[in-house]
Amino acid sequence: MAGGKITKAEAVQAPKGGRSDQITSSSVPRLNQALDQAGG
């Protein structure tokens, strides 16, 4: 967080195994990209 804005997302705890790993590995980078585009 910087200046009251979220600047980076990080998965602290996520489900493990199979499809959950795939979803987690792609969702965090997408969230960070959305934050960048929103001026995070």
Q: Could you read off the pLDDT of 9-30 as tens digits, one per residue?
A: 776 777 778 888 888 888 878 8
Which two tokens mark 36? 């960048």
Q: Which residue has the higher pLDDT, 2 or 16?
A: 16
Q: What is the pTM of this model?
A: 0.49
Q: What is the pLDDT of residue 11?
A: 66
pLDDT tops 70 at residue 40: no
Asked if pLDDT for residue 4 goes beyond 70, the answer is yes
Q: Which residue has the higher pLDDT, 1 or 14?
A: 14
Distance CA(19)–CA(1), nearest Å, equals 30
Q: Looking up tokens 């980078």, which residue turns up? A: 29
